[in-house]
Amino acid sequence: MEKVALYLVTGLLAGILIGAFIFYSIGMPYMYRMSMGYGDGQYAPMGSGGYSDGRYYSPKYYQGPGSFESNGERIYYTGINENGERIPFTGGPFWLVNYGGSCVNCHGRDGTGGFVPMMCNEKAPDIRYSTLTSGEHEHAYDVEAIKTAIVKGIEPDGGELNWCMPRWQMNEKDLNDIVEYLKTLD
């Protein structure tokens, strides 16, 4: 009788764990997309969600302008360049992988950061060009150091940025454009 009870309890716990795994890996993203107003549970079609370039958020979560003055501004707000290509990345918080995002999600509209992004363990730093190049961080950045930080997650002194900073795989044009946009945040 004790073996039967042990098997029942073990089976019940295994069922709960498998059910939770299935729900959180399949059900939660589906429910999230449903709650965002996409009735079929799919990602937002191009042209919907507040951004004209396929951003995954509904208008109630929109954080940026209706149109963009530069490719750098577009990348900063959407993570998508002027050719409509999502900028690939490695690392970063789990939600970024699942739902997309960009610089603005962690560093804010003005680039000053100052808050801890969801699922991260450090405050997002101020990434305005004037702050990066003035030495207000431990080490002053130059343009190449800013690009290295964006792409490789390496600081000017060779240290590694926090794991929560995605390593954005940008081409040289997009990198130059995002650095130029950071200059406008001053």
Quick check: 39 and 144 in contact, CB under 8 A?
A: no
E-assigned strand segments in the chain: 89-90, 167-168
- Top mean pLDDT of 37-41, 64-68, 182-186 is at 182-186
pLDDT at residue 99, as a whole number: 75
Alpha carbon distance 132, 19 (integer Å) = 47
Longest distance between any two alpha carbons in the chain, whole Å: 74
Side chain identity, residue 7 = Y
Q: What single-letter DSSP state applies at residue 85?
A: P
pLDDT at residue 152, as a whole number: 95
pLDDT of residue 142 exceeding 50: yes
pLDDT at residue 141, as a whole number: 92
Instruction: List, in order, residues 6 or more apart from 82 with CB less than 8 Å away.
Output: 71, 74
The pTM (predicted TM-score) of the whole model is 0.66
Alpha carbon distance 130, 182 (integer Å) = 9
Sign, Cα dihedral of 92, 142, 84, 54: positive
Percent of the chain with pLDDT over 90: 36
Q: Pick from 49, 185, 47: which is nearest to 112 by CA?
A: 185
In angstroms, the Cα distances linking 96 to 5, 45, 56, 105, 170 are 43, 18, 11, 9, 16
